[in-house]
Amino acid sequence: MSNQTKYDAFRQTYPEFVYESYQYDVQPDGLHIVFAFRIGSNILFRPTAFIPARHFLEMNQPRQVMDLLVFNIGMIELVSYWKCYCPPTVRVGCGWLDDDQVAFWKRVYYYGLGEFFYTNDIHCSPDDFLTIQPQGRPIAADPLPTHLDGDAHLVPIGGGKDSVVTLELLRRLPQTSLRPLIMNPRGATIACAAAAGYDMDQVLVIQRTIDPLLLRLNSQGCLNGHTPFSAMLAFYTLLAAQLSGIPHIALSNENSANESTVAGTSVNHQYSKSFQFENDFRQYVSRYLPIGADYYSFLRPLSELQIAMIFSQHEKYFPIFRSCNAGSKTDTWCGKCAKCLFAYIILSPFVAPSRLNHIFGKNMLDDTELQPLFDQLVGKAPTKPFECVGTISEVHAALAMTLSRWYPASRPALLCGFEPDPPSINLHHLFPQHNLPPTELSIITQYVQAAAH
């Protein structure tokens, strides 16, 4: 049975997905959150989230604020469960959405699931893939009370090079403080925070759990695939900002995230890291969640190549950073996936091959088994890898610089017979599309100019 056939059959069998409720409870150990989603009469999902107590968190917030924030987190959490059977109707029973909010959520779901639809070969349109029916009561009508002020920054840490660069550049701002945020801590995220000078008592932690029923249904043949994780993180950061009283939320999404994964389409693995999503989210927050938090990507003016250039100057992170999804549970570089190969390539102009080989365990450009992934990264295949990787032009520029600097004579296997396009990326240039405050843009400008020289 094709996935399109399954999709159509599932939608007839399960015509409705219900967002039944959200609950939250402040206990001595922290904030506990539970959501309830239902498909049909006997499929009930109850995913949870937990924010451990910290001395810098004020858990007792106005109920109106908490209701709005947690309700909206549930709106993004639900898409991971909806995709099992893709019911044509989503009934929101625990809150109200106006027409513009409904339009926002349909955009987030449709484009955030672009990879899911593409890889499962499911054909649907933004209009007919689902209908959202809000049936709950409006949560708030009055202006929201807020206590966010000052110049502090909340910085989500993912364990890779990007959030490290954000941390290291933002700490150069005078009269500001940084608060790392880690969702589901693991070795690399904890180690990167520690290398930056933060122990876990100074880190805002979010523990998010997936309902085990979802994993069982996946093993039994329901539809499965990529969901917009960064959009989910965005809504959790609003709650984190409110609890910590921090007004600035500085993400680490670069300009390269705007490039489609499938050329000529809107299918983008990194949609919820794109500038389009960032602007849509900021407008939504301004209108419907005006708590005073300013969400933006600090690295938006930069390319992946510039980020790699800056990261290469912070060698203390070399032994501990990780960007490999396949090796995330064991905190290793698997050495076989597109993320590993891209990370190796983008750093290769700036880090000597011997040092890079030590980090990744081998010269990845000498591994012929990676040829299919290499072809995807350089644009020889119909699609880029469905991973968070840079643009095709950035890969070509990195390889051209690498060949010139490190391999003027003999070449590693993947580069034999390959001629990259001449570098078209100016390492001094900043992209103009961003939402950075002037002081932060100035820090990036100064550092990029110094690093490029």
Write the DSSP symbol of residue 52: E
Closest listed residue to residue 296, CA positions, set 278, 318, 270: 278
pLDDT at 143 over 70: no
What does the pLDDT look like over 395-451, one tens digit per residue? 999 999 999 999 988 999 999 999 998 877 889 999 999 999 999 999 999 999 888
Predicted local distance difference test score (pLDDT) of residue 328? 80
Predicted local distance difference test score (pLDDT) of residue 290? 87
Predicted local distance difference test score (pLDDT) of residue 330? 86
Interatomic CA distance for residues 113 and 119, integer angstroms = 10
Predicted local distance difference test score (pLDDT) of residue 326? 86
Question: Dihedrals φ, ψ of 252, to 5°?
Answer: -125, 45
Buried b / exposed e along 223-253 (16+ C-beta atoms within 10 A): bbbbbbebbbbbbbbbbbbbbbbbbbbbbbb
Average pLDDT over residues 320-344: 92
pLDDT at 149 over 80: no
* Domain boundaries along the sequence of the chain: 3-297, 323-429
Token pair in block for residue 223: 């539809």
Predicted local distance difference test score (pLDDT) of residue 426? 86
Average pLDDT over residues 85-113: 97
Label residue 145 by pLDDT band (50, 70, 90). Answer: low
What does the pLDDT look like over 257-294, one tens digit per residue? 999 999 899 999 999 999 999 999 999 999 999 888 99
Mean pLDDT of the chain: 95
Predicted local distance difference test score (pLDDT) of residue 274? 97
Question: Dihedrals φ, ψ of 284, to 5°?
Answer: -60, -45
Average pLDDT over residues 92-110: 97
Predicted local distance difference test score (pLDDT) of residue 424? 78
Predicted local distance difference test score (pLDDT) of residue 141? 53
Predicted local distance difference test score (pLDDT) of residue 142? 62
What does the pLDDT look like over 14-67, one tens digit per residue? 999 999 999 999 999 999 999 999 999 899 999 999 999 999 999 999 999 999
CB-based burial label for 143 (10 Å; 0-12, 13-18, 19+): exposed
β-pairing, 30-39 vs 89-92, is: unpaired
Following DSSP, what letter does each residue of 177-219 receive, concatenated?
Answer: -EEEEEES--HHHHHHHHHTT--GGGSEEEEEE--HHHHHHHH
Predicted local distance difference test score (pLDDT) of residue 73? 98
Write the DSSP symbol of residue 383: B
Average pLDDT over residues 151-156: 95
CB atoms under 10 Å from CB of 275, counted, come to 18
Predicted local distance difference test score (pLDDT) of residue 422? 84
Give yes or no for a contact between 293 and 181, defined as CB atoms under 8 angstroms apart: no
Give yes or no for a contact between 86 and 131, defined as CB atoms under 8 angstroms apart: no
Predicted local distance difference test score (pLDDT) of residue 186? 95
91-95, 324-328, 436-440: the lowest-pLDDT one: 324-328
Average pLDDT over residues 125-143: 87
Interatomic CA distance for residues 319 and 445, integer angstroms = 28
Predicted local distance difference test score (pLDDT) of residue 144? 66
